[in-house]
Amino acid sequence: MNNSGSEISPMRFCVLGTGRIATKVGKVIARTECSEIRAVASRSQQRADEWAMTLDVPHAFGSYAEGIENPEIDAVYIALPPPLHHEWTIRAAELGKHVLCEKPAGMNADEVREMTSACEQEGVQFMDGVMWLHTERSRAMKEIIDSGELGELKRITSSYSNPALSQWDHSTEIRMNPEQGGGSLYDLGWYNVGATLWVTGQMPSKVWASAEWQQGVDISCSAMMWFDSGTVASFDVSFDTVMRKWIEVAGRNSSIVCDDFTRVWDNAPPRFWVHDGWGKNRTHEFEPEDQIEAMIEAYCRYARTTVDPHWPQFSVQTQVVLDALLKSAKTGREVIL
């Protein structure tokens, strides 16, 4: 593991990929105090050079291997299509590099287990790129949930959708390609499943899903999860519905409602509401926060101190549930975990 420098030295990243999400997250890595970008790698030297010039990155490589082998880097941010996550996570880990990987973490749970196992063996931090979990607002919601204020958890309901389907070129869009990890479950449902596991702290015992299909991928999906504790969770995701990103956690005594849990609405402050048993509510409001920066700061903290086993385990559990839901959507049957 490459931990040269003091704890306050920036975590030195190589970004694998030059697409939209690589640029969006890369800009924040570059400006966050705890991190910097030392290299970018692409299959195209020209794209790597152009990306490096835009973000003032000192090294640009025309292959992923050259990028992760650079001795100046401590960590790799993998912003590649899902089929490439497995190979490059393992290769980076074997070189002692920490791994921050876009979601879905892999193409299936077996891949993610192998990825996280490789990171564990090499003593490096693996974490997937879900941002909202690391914000002050999310910590406050979790404190209320864990405090028992809601009472016995009865229902968890969430939705995540957008109308992008009509805007895509379906012949090139990877989210419309099953071989590229496409579909609304893996792309959007990762957030809903992760949020449900985050709330409950346990795996469901049984799941069911129903989907609408185009080009071999689910363009929308409705799902249910049952837990041994008695909690029931349901969610829907879609590429063909107006933007929605809300969650409700309902207990016997009160509930939490957040209408933008994955990312704060542009025209609103970070907030959520707690409703008592008869609907009286109180608002919890927070200062604006860059959730990408919150994720990067959390990741650097884990990698620079003690590697946190929670995050790789959480990625595996999320993928296990998604695999079961996809199986249910294809077969029309409940799946027992």
CATH number of the domain where residue 115 is located: 3.40.50.720
Is there a domain that residue 314 lies in?
no
**Residue 34 confidence (pLDDT):** 97
pLDDT recorded at residue 4: 42
Same structural domain, 63 and 89: yes
pLDDT on residue 162: 99
Q: Give whole-number Cα distances, 310 to 19, 92, 197, 228, 319, in Å.
A: 29, 20, 12, 21, 14
What is the SS3 assignment for 269?
coil
Do residues 147 and 270 both lie within one domain?
yes
* 103 and 157 co-located in one domain: no
Residue 53 lies in a domain: yes
Which range of residues forms the domain containing residue 215?
Answer: 132-294+320-336
Query: Do 143 and 119 share a structural domain?
Result: no
**Among 129, 145, 163, where does a domain finish?**
129
Residue 21 lies inside a defined structural domain of this protein: yes
312, part of any domain: no
Domain final residue pick, 78, 105, 129: 129
pLDDT of residue 7: 53
- Same-domain check for residues 123 and 164: no
- Count of domains forming the chain: 2
Residue 56 is assigned to a structural domain of this protein:
yes
User: By C-alpha distance, which of 258, 226, 223 is closest to 244?
Assistant: 258
Cα dihedral 79, 139, 198, 7 in deg (nearest 10): 50
Asked if residue 258 belongs to a domain, the reply is yes
Same domain, 110 and 147: no
Contact 10, 43 (CB under 8 A): no
In this structure, are 136 and 248 located in the same domain?
yes
CA separation for the pair 309, 78 (Å, rounded): 19
- 236: which 2 tokens? 């829907």
CA dihedral 23, 162, 203, 129 (to 10 degrees): 0
Distance CA 273, CA 282 (A): 6
337 residues of the chain, pLDDT tens digit each: 444 444 579 999 999 999 999 999 999 999 999 999 999 999 999 999 999 999 999 999 999 999 999 999 999 999 999 999 999 999 999 999 999 999 999 999 999 999 999 999 999 999 999 999 999 999 999 999 999 999 999 999 999 999 999 999 999 999 999 999 999 999 999 999 999 999 999 999 999 999 999 999 999 999 999 999 999 999 999 999 999 999 999 999 999 999 999 999 999 999 999 999 999 999 999 999 999 999 999 999 999 988 999 999 999 999 999 999 999 999 999 999 9
Distance CA 167, CA 170 (A): 9
Q: Are residues 116 and 160 in the same domain?
A: no
93 & 209 share domain: no
Could you count the other beta carbons within 10 Å of the beta carbon of residue 65? Answer: 11
Q: What is the pTM of this model?
A: 0.96
Q: 331 and 202, same structural domain?
A: yes
* Residue 188 is assigned to a structural domain of this protein: yes
Q: What integer pLDDT is reported at residue 306 of this predicted model?
A: 85
Contact indicator for 102, 129 with CB cutoff of 8 Å: yes
Taking the C-alpha atoms of 135, 262, 102 and 291 in order, what is their torsion angle to the nearest 10 degrees?
-30
Spacing of C-alpha 168 from chain mean position: 22
CATH number reported for the structural domain that contains residue 145 in this entry: 3.30.360.10
C-alpha to C-alpha distance for 222 and 302, rounded to whole angstroms: 35
**Same-domain status, 86 and 179:** no
Q: Are residues 120 and 250 in the same domain?
A: no
